[in-house]
Amino acid sequence: MTEALLKVENLSIAFKSRHGELTAVDNISFEMAPGEILGVVGESGAGKSLTGSALTGLLEKPGFIKSGQILFENRRIDNLPYEQMRRLRGLKIGAIFQDPLTSLNPLYTVGFHLVETIMTHLPMNQAKAKDHAIRLLTEVGIPAPEKRFEQYPHQFSGGMRQRVVIALAICANPKLIIADEPTTALDVSVQAQILRLLKTMSKEHGAAIMLITHDMGVIAETADRVSVMYAGRIAEIGPVASVIKNPQHPYTQGLMAAIPIIGHQAERLAQIDGAMPRLNAIPTGCSFNPRCPKVFERCYHDRPDLMTAQDSLAACWLHDKTR
Amino acid sequence: MFAFVLRRIGQSLFVMLVVAIIAFSMFRFVGDPVHNMVGQQTSMEDREKLREALGLNDPFYVQFYKFIKNAVKGDFGVSYRHGRPASEIIAERLPATLELSLVAVLFALCVGIPMGVYTGIKKDSILSKFFLTTSLIGVSMPVFLIGILMIWIFAVELHWLPPFGRGDVVELGKYWSTGFLTISGLKALILPAITLGLFQMTLIMRLVRSEMLEVLRTDYIKFARARGLKNSAIYFGHALKNTLLPVITITGLQIGTIIAFAIITETVFNWPGMGQLFIQAINNVDIPIMAAYLMLVSLIFVIINLIVDALYFWVDPRLKTGNVVARST
Ligand SMILES: Nc1ncnc2c1ncn2[C@@H]1O[C@H](COP(=O)(O)OP(=O)(O)O)[C@@H](O)[C@H]1O
Ligand code: SF4
Ligand SMILES: [Mg+2]
C-alpha cells in the first residue's frame, strides 16, 4: 500500500445527554489510500454518517470526538480551528449527501452554487469560474450545460441534481470525497448511472471516495475495499471481493446471506435474527453476541478488536490465533 | 401568471368596493348630514329642500354610484367641521403620518432583522437571551404606555428629544411637508417612530430568528458548509434569503397595521397626522373626513399587498416558472 491519504486512529464519537455520555462510534481505526474507493456498509444507526461527519469536521452538537485522531495527508485535522477546517472542506475534502433534492438552495441557480464554490477555493474571477463551472457540468454528464447553468434546482430531475451535487463536490479537485448514501434517494434506474459517474470521477481526478451505504450491492459494484460497521465499531474490513465471497465475521456472513440472489426471489432470505442494540444497551463483550450464531463463552466477557482473518481484518474471537 | 395578476387585482378592487360600501353607509346611517350642515333655526321645509338638493332622496344605488364616482376623483365632500374639502385636509395630514410610518417600518426592519439573525446564529449566547427577554417585555406593554415612558425618560428626564410635535417642517412643492430636512424634524421623529415600530421590530426579530433556526437545519445549509463556504456566505447569502419570504409577508401586513396604529402614537405624541385627525373626526362625527381616511388607508393596504406579491415573484424563482413546490423540509 502506498502512503495513506487518510488515517483514522482509535476514533470515538460520543453524545452528551442527560443520562451521561453515549458512545456512538467506538474506537475505530482504518486507512484510505489515495484514489481508493472505500465502501462503508452497515445497518442504520451503525455510526457510518457520524464517521463521515467527523472527517469533514461537521459533527453536530451534542456530538463530539471523544478520543482518537484523524490524519489527512499526514496532518492532524480532528483538532483544527474552525476556519482552517473550513478551508479544507471543498478544497481537499468534499462531501455528497443523501438527498440531492434538498442539497441545493432553491433560491439560487445551479450556476450560482458552482461559481460561489469555485471562487471560495480557487483563485479565479467570475468569468473564469463560469467557464470552469460549465466544464464541470459537461464532465458530470449534464446536457446543454450553458443553459442549465442559468437554471434553478427545481428545474432539474433528481438524478440531474445529484450530478450537480457531484460537480460541486469536485469543483476544487479534492483528494477525498465523503459520499453519504449518495444514491439512496434516487430511482433504481438512476442509481447505477450515478455510481458509475462517481467511479469515473474518482479515477479521473484521483480522488479517494468513502462511499457510505446500507446496500451491499452498491459496494460490490463500486468499491475497492469495504468496511462493515456494527454498533459503532468496525466488524470487518478488507478487499471487496474477499469480504463478499469469503466473509470472516459472523455478522458479515449474515449480511451476505441476506443479499437477494437472482432466481431465488421466492425463498425467504436468510436474515439475521434480532436488531442492532441501542446505544445505551450495548452488551458487554462482543456487541454482536446476542445475535451471533457462533457465540461462545469468551464473547460475553471480552471485546474483540480487529484481527487478521485471511485477506481481511475481523473483530471476532473466532480468529484469535492465541486461542 | 397573467391569470394570477388579474385575480389579485380583482380581489383588490373587491376589497375597495366593500370599504366604499362601509364608508358610504356612514354617510347615510350615522347622524344626519343635513343636521350637521345647518343651524338650529333652519325650518323643516328648508331642510327638505337641502336634502333634495344634496340628492339624499335619490334611490340607494344612484347615491352609491355618485359616491363612487366622486371618490375616484378624490372627492368626499366638505368637512362638517372645517368647511373645506375632506380630501384636502387629509392630504395636508398625510405626509406626517407616512413619514412617521416609514421611519417606524425602517426601524423595525433595520433593527429587527439583524437582531433576528444574531439570535438565530448565536442562539445560546447571553446577548441573545437578553434580546429575547427584553423583546417579550416590549411586546406585552401597550403602545400608549411605551410612548408615555419614552416621553418621560428621553424628553422629560434627559431632555434629549422633544416630547411632542413634528419639529420644523420644510414644504416640498405644494403637497408635501417633510420633517426629514431639519434637525428638529428628525429629532422629533425618533421617539414616536420607535414607539410605533417597537412591536413590529420584536415581531420581525422573532420571525427571522425562528426562520433562521429552521433554515440552518436544512440539507442545503449542511451541504453549503461541506462545500467550505465562508460563514458570512452561509448566513447572509443562503440562510437569510430563505427567511425573507415570511419577513416580506409579515412586513407587508404590518405596514398596514402601523399606519392604522399610528392613531394611538399620534395622539400620545400630539403628532399632526391623519390618525390624530381621524380621532378628532370621530369626536365631531365628521363623516367626510372619516370616509376619506378609511378609503385612503384601505387603498394603501391594497397597494402594499400587491407590492408584497410582486416581491414574492422577485425573491422566489420557483414561482416564476409556475412550478411551485413545497418548501424543502
Ligand atoms: N444528535 C444525536 N444525539 C444522540 N444520538 C445521535 C445523534 N445523532 C446520531 N445519533 C446516534 O448515533 C448513532 C449513529 O448514527 P449515524 O452515524 O447517523 O448512523 P448511520 O449513518 O450508520 O445510520 C445512532 O445510534 C444515532 O441514534
Ligand atoms: S466474537 Fe463471538 S459473538 Fe462476536 S462475532 Fe465473533 S463469535 Fe460472534
Ligand atoms: Mg446515515
Looking at the structure, do residues A105 and A211 belong to the same domain, yes or no? Answer: yes
Look-up: residue for cell 450553458? A146
CATH number for position A56: 3.40.50.300
Please give the pLDDT value at position A67. 94
Residue A286 near ligand 2, beta carbon < 6 Å: yes
Could you tell me if residue A118 is inside a domain? Answer: yes
Looking at the structure, do residues A183 and A277 belong to the same domain, yes or no? Answer: no
In one letter, which amino acid is B79? S
Could you tell me if residue A238 is inside a domain? Answer: no
Distance A43 CA to ligand 3 centre (A): 9
Q: How many domains does chain A have?
A: 2
Nearest to B220 among A88, A89, A102 (CB): A102
Task: Examine the fold and report which residue of A205, A223, A241 is the final residue of a domain before the chain moves on.
Answer: A223
Task: Examine the fold and report which residue of A223, A240, A260 is the final residue of a domain before the chain moves on.
Answer: A223
Distance from CA of A89 to the nearest CA of B (A): 5
Could you tell me if residue A314 is inside a domain? Answer: yes
pTM of the model: 0.82
Could you tell me if residue A229 is inside a domain? Answer: no
Domain spans of chain B, in order of start: 86-142+196-328
Please give the pLDDT value at position B79. 82
| Partners of residue A14 on adjacent β-strands | A23, A64
Q: Give the tens place of pLDDT for each residue, A173-199.
A: 999 999 999 988 888 888 999 999 999
Please give the pLDDT value at position A267. 40
Q: Are strands A176-180 and A93-96 parallel, antiparallel or unpaired?
A: parallel
Looking at the structure, do residues A153 and A44 belong to the same domain, yes or no? Answer: yes
Q: If you average pLDDT over every residue of chain B, what do you get?
A: 85
Q: How confident is the model at residue B114 (pLDDT cuts 50, 70, 90)?
A: very high
On the question of pLDDT at A51 being above 90, the answer is: yes
Which residues place a Cβ less than 5 A from the ion ligand 3? A 49
Q: Measured from the CA of A60, which atom of ligand 1 is nearest?
A: 1
Ligand 1 shell residues, CB under 6 Å: A 15, 24, 42, 44-50, 63, 279
Q: Give the tens place of pLDDT for each residue, B48-61.
A: 887 777 777 777 78
Looking at the structure, do residues A205 and A263 belong to the same domain, yes or no? Answer: no
Distance from CA of A164 to the nearest CA of B (A): 12
Q: How confident is the model at residue A266 (pLDDT cuts 50, 70, 90)?
A: very low
Residues A67, A22: contact at Cβ < 8 Å? no
Q: Residue A132's CB: how many other CB atoms inside 10 A?
A: 18
Q: If you average pLDDT over every residue of chain A, what do you get?
A: 90
Please give the pLDDT value at position A2. 63
pLDDT > 70: percent of chain B: 93
- State how far the alpha carbon of B132 is from the alpha carbons of A178, A187, B113, B258, B269, in Å: 39, 45, 13, 22, 27
Measure the CA angle with vertex B322, ends B17 and A159; round to 5°.
Answer: 160
Residues A197, A166: contact at Cβ < 8 Å? yes
Q: Give the tens place of pLDDT for each residue, A211-257.
A: 999 888 889 889 999 999 999 999 999 999 999 999 999 999 988 87
Looking at the structure, do residues A40 and A109 belong to the same domain, yes or no? Answer: yes
Measure the CA angle with vertex B300, ends B297 and B301; round to 5°.
Answer: 90
Looking at the structure, do residues A50 and A154 belong to the same domain, yes or no? Answer: yes
On the question of pLDDT at A268 being above 80, the answer is: no
CATH of domain B86-142+196-328: 1.10.3720.10
User: Which residues on chain B are in Cβ contact (under 8 Å) with A152?
Assistant: 317-318, 321
Looking at the structure, do residues A219 and A257 belong to the same domain, yes or no? Answer: no
Grid coordinates given for B169: 417642517
Optimal mutation site among B121, B124, B217, B227, interface A, most CBs of chain A within 10 A: B227
Could you tell me if residue A228 is inside a domain? Answer: no
Residue A165 near ligand 2, beta carbon < 6 Å: no
The ipTM estimated for the assembled molecules is 0.90
Which of B268, B297, B262, B292 lies closest to B101, judged by CA? B262
**Which ligand places an atom closest to the C-alpha of A51?**
1
Looking at the structure, do residues A217 and A284 belong to the same domain, yes or no? Answer: no
Are B222 and A107 a contacting pair at CB < 8 A?
Answer: no
Looking at the structure, do residues A217 and A256 belong to the same domain, yes or no? Answer: no
Give me the domain span that covers residue A118: 6-223
Residue nearest to atom 6 of ligand 2 (CA): A316
Residues A214, A181: contact at Cβ < 8 Å? yes
Higher pLDDT, A17 or B37: A17
Are A58 and B225 a contacting pair at CB < 8 A?
Answer: yes
Residues A272, A251: contact at Cβ < 8 Å? yes
On the question of pLDDT at B141 being above 90, the answer is: no
Could you tell me if residue A254 is inside a domain? Answer: yes
Query: Mind spelling out the 3-state secondary structure of chain A?
Result: CCCCCEEEEEEEEEEEECCEEEEEEEEEEEEECCCCEEEEECCCCCCHHHHHHHHHCCCCCCEEEEEEEEEECCEECCCCCHHHHHHHECCCEEEECCCCCCCCCCCCCHHHHHHHHHHHHCCCCHHHHHHHHHHHHHHCCCCCHHHHHCCCHHHCCHHHHHHHHHHHHHCCCCCEEEEECCCCCCCHHHHHHHHHHHHHHHHHHCCEEEEEECCHHHHHHHCCEEEEEECCEEEEEEEHHHHHHCCCCHHHHHHHHHCCCCCCCCCCCCCCCCCCCCHHHCCCCCCCCCCCCCCCHHHHCCCCCCEEECCEEECCHHHCCCC
Coil, strand or helix at B83? coil
On the question of pLDDT at A1 being above 70, the answer is: no
Q: Give the tens place of pLDDT for each residue, A114-166.
A: 999 999 999 999 999 999 999 999 999 999 999 999 999 999 998 999 999 99
Quick one: average pLDDT of B284-302?
87
Looking at the structure, do residues A181 and A319 belong to the same domain, yes or no? Answer: no
Task: Looking at mean pLDDT, say which of A17-21, A58-62, B223-227 comes out highest.
Answer: B223-227
Higher pLDDT, B199 or B260: B199
Asked if the C-beta of B318 comes within 8 angstroms of chain A's C-beta atoms, the answer is yes
The count of C-alpha atoms lying within 13 angstroms of the C-alpha of A6, restricted to the half-sphere facing its C-beta, is 30
Q: Give the tens place of pLDDT for each residue, B176-219.
A: 888 888 888 888 899 999 999 999 999 999 999 999 999 999 99
Looking at the structure, do residues A292 and A198 belong to the same domain, yes or no? Answer: no
Are B228 and A88 a contacting pair at CB < 8 A?
Answer: yes
Looking at the structure, do residues A40 and A187 belong to the same domain, yes or no? Answer: yes
Distance A228 CA to ligand 1 centre (A): 16
